[in-house]
């Protein structure tokens, strides 16, 4: 069964600490207190996300989609095959 990707749903599934690490590496949202955000409720983050310039947002969205695609059983097997 195909899974549907949306950035908002993706950010609900990723722990805030990992989101903070990712966006820190991209020098974004330095003023956003990720530790104060409620897990699985990314509304404040998503509003900040919409302010990112389109080109940069599309590049990161593509990275998120790749992660999402590897986060199921088929993706897990692909990772394990590469590791061997």
Residue 68 has pLDDT above 80, yes or no: yes
| DSSP per position, 52-76 | S-HHHHHHHHHHHHHHHHTSSHHHH
CB 46 within 8 A of CB 61: no
CB contact at 8 A, 81 and 12: no
Domain positions in the chain are: 7-83
Instruction: Supply the pTM of this predicted model.
Output: 0.81
pLDDT per position as a tens digit, 33-55: 999 999 999 899 999 999 999 99
Q: How confident is the model at residue 2 (pLDDT cuts 50, 70, 90)?
A: low
Lowest-pLDDT range, 5-14, 20-29, 54-63? Answer: 5-14
Q: How many Cβ atoms sit within 10 Å of the Cβ of residue 58?
A: 10
- Does residue 25 or residue 77 have the better pLDDT? 25
């Amino acid at each position: 069964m195909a899974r549907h990707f949306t950035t908002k749903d993706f950010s609900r599934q990723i722990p805030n600490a990992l989101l903070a690490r990712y966006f820190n590496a991209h020098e974004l949202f330095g003023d956003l207190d990720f530790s104060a955000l409620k897990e699985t409720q990314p509304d404040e983050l998503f509003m900040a996300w919409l302010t990112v310039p389109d080109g940069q947002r599309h590049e990161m969205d593509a990275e998120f989609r790749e992660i999402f695609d590897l986060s199921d059983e088929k993706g897990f097997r692909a990772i394990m095959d590469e590791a061997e």
